[in-house]
Amino acid sequence: MGNGQAGGYSAPAKWLHWIIAICIFFLIPVGISLDKVPEGPLQDRLFNLHRSFGVLVLALAIVRVMVRRLYGPPAHYAGLTRFEQIASTAVHHSLYALILVTPLLGWAMMSTYRAEVPVFGLFNLPPILPQSDLLTKIFSKLHALSGILMALLVIAHAGGALMHFIIKRDGVLERMLPASWGPAFTRIQSLFGTPNRSA
């Protein structure tokens, strides 16, 4: 699919990757804390922020899928084993699916609950489903499941990237970082031993 890029990801792909990643690092812990925070202004604020950033991730994820179709993913990093190629592709595809599906399930849950989905105080998203207590319960469970699955995959994914950086000391992590960081990146990496680039 697309015109694979030898050097790494396109600038828009990198920007979208890291902005979405920052949102996810905020959304998951806030999501898990929502029902543990006492009711009141703090809880209201966290609910609103969780919904707003969740909707932002949905919008950015749609742009990101279009960017990927336009630019294509780069070819696999040259030093990867067959297993690494299959495992990383499976995790990447699952993460793409989850950054689309998790916010949609949140939106569906709020729709069936007839709760508002305010987006940074600018506007509200309309409900996409009729009200139903049963569906609210189901979507709440599915949203939680999908959020937790994303957390586990992100741990595996970031763990893999850091393993490449620190143990294999190859250029995988660099593919997702700004091109101008190359020299600094290699210097930091050499603190762990001799960098070992195959591509």
Residues near ligand HEM (CB under 6 A): 13, 17, 20-21, 24-25, 27-28, 31-32, 34-35, 50-51, 54-55, 57, 68, 73, 77, 88, 92, 95-96, 99, 102-103, 106-107, 110, 117, 140, 143-144, 147-148, 150, 154, 157-158, 161-162, 172-173, 175-176
| CA atoms of 78 and 197, how far apart (whole Å) | 9
Burial of 164 from C-beta contacts in 10 A (0-12 / 13-18 / 19+): buried
Judged by beta carbon, residue 25 or residue 193, the one nearer ligand HEM is 25
| CA atoms of 70 and 21, how far apart (whole Å) | 21
Buried b / exposed e along 57-79 (16+ C-beta atoms within 10 A): bbebbeebeebbeebebbeebee
| CA atoms of 142 and 148, how far apart (whole Å) | 10
Hey, is 162 helix, strand or coil? helix
- Phi, psi angle pair for 117, to nearest 5°: -120, 80
Judged by beta carbon, residue 51 or residue 169, the one nearer ligand HEM is 51
CB of 43 to ligand HEM, least distance (A): 10
Whole-Å CA distances, 155 to 37, 98, 137: 25, 14, 27
CB of 81 to ligand HEM, least distance (A): 13
Judged by beta carbon, residue 51 or residue 190, the one nearer ligand HEM is 51
Judged by beta carbon, residue 87 or residue 144, the one nearer ligand HEM is 144
Judged by beta carbon, residue 85 or residue 190, the one nearer ligand HEM is 85
| CA atoms of 79 and 196, how far apart (whole Å) | 10
Evaluate whether 83 touches 145 at the Cβ level (below 8 Å).
no
Judged by beta carbon, residue 141 or residue 187, the one nearer ligand HEM is 141
